[in-house]
Structure 1
Amino acid sequence: MSDSKSKPRRAGIPRMALEAAMTPAASDPVRRAMWLDALEQQLRPCIPPALSPHCRLANVAGERIVFLVDSPVWKAKLRLAAPELLNAARSIGLTVTEVTVKITTAPLQAGRPARSTEKPVSEVARKALAAALASLTQPPSLDRGTTPGSHRDGEEDNP
């Protein structure tokens, strides 16, 4: 048998997820993500309002600040705003000289439900649709005595 012992379990209240994530073993990526989020909140006012929902700060790597956008149109518009973003980043203490913009297919606003443009169907519309569907599925009844262009009892049209 080996002399190694397993670590005893700590009894007590379970730690909150953030506390567990902030332990020294896991803190660096979490702290960096929190720093990038705070940095994005500081830079967001410098982004043109029409562009803001279509872009997100992705990283700061050396002298380069990286943004993600959701289409090539927004990439071009963000590149036009690059000088203002660089000035804002320098004013908060970053030593960046370049803005890189990358296009992503993933949604940029995670957690926000997409706004539905569909309107609920009214009861009147629902009944009209059901009646139209029923008329399509029922064969025309022949007991009414006429077909288009004919009359009952063999009568003919007299002009």
Structure 2
Amino acid sequence: MGNGPKSLVDCGSFATLAKKASELEALDRALRQTLPSPLREQVRFANLRNDRLVFLASSPAWATRLRLMQTQILATAHAIGTSASSVTVKVAPQPPVVIEPDRSKPLSPAAAAHLQATAASLSDPELRALFLGLASLAETTDSQAKTGR
């Protein structure tokens, strides 16, 4: 059988998949807790395939550091009842952290008044409409009273 994707039928029941995922997560926690702090954050346990513990490292440097700890990792694995004879480390950069931009504060009524005054002085109708659209986003004193601002 190849290394490609399996048919859903070949994967077993959802309960079986959930149990395997839970076991792998517990093994990940047990193995990584013995690693030094900076390394622990840069590697993830991925799988137990045959007798190999497969880890993912965020860079080649972290992969090398993890490989140097193979003896300790295997000792920990044996201590918790996992029969593994080797450690494989693959480099897989962690996905970038998506930072959501802070929502800006709503425009004050004074800012809206300035935008409306500027819009009134503009001769370009498209630009005037844009300024008026911005002014319409202003928080009114009624909505400020309702939200307690």
Which range, TM-score by smaller chain? Answer: 0.5 to 0.7
State which of 35, 49, 54 in structure 2 corresponds to 1:66: 54
- Work out the percentage of aligned pairs sharing the same amino acid: 34
Which residue is equivalent to 1:44? 32
Larger radius of gyration: 1
Write the letter of the residue equivalent to 1:98.
S
Contact 1:79-1:99 within 8 A present in 2 as well: yes
Give the deviation of 1:25 after TM superposition.
Answer: 2.9
Contact 1:72-1:103 within 8 A present in 2 as well: yes
- CA distance in 2 between counterparts of 1:39 and 1:113 reads 28
Deviations 1:87-115 (A, max 9, x none): 0000000110100000113439xxx776x
Q: Which runs of 5+ in 1 are unaligned?
A: 1-23, 115-159
TM-score (norm 2): 0.54
1:98 pairs with 2:86: yes
Moved over 4 A (4+): none
SS of corresponding position for 1:46: coil
SS of corresponding position for 2:27: helix
State which of 23, 31, 48 in structure 2 corresponds to 1:35: 23
Equivalenced residue count is 89
Contact 1:59-1:65 within 8 A present in 2 as well: yes
Deviations 1:50-108 (A, max 9, x none): 10110010000111000001100000000001110000000000110100000113439
Contact 1:70-1:107 within 8 A present in 2 as well: no
TM-score (norm 1): 0.51
Q: Which has the higher helix share?
A: 2
Which residue is equivalent to 2:95? 107
State which of 83, 105, 112 in structure 1 corresponds to 2:71: 83
- Equivalent positions of 1:12-31 (< 5 A) are 25-31=13-19
SS of corresponding position for 1:51: helix
SS of corresponding position for 2:33: helix
Q: Which runs of 5+ in 2 are unaligned?
A: 1-11, 100-149
Which residue is equivalent to 2:117? none
Give the deviation of 1:39 after TM superposition.
Answer: 0.9
- CA distance in 1 between counterparts of 2:88 and 2:58 reads 14
Superposed CA RMSD in Å reads 2.2
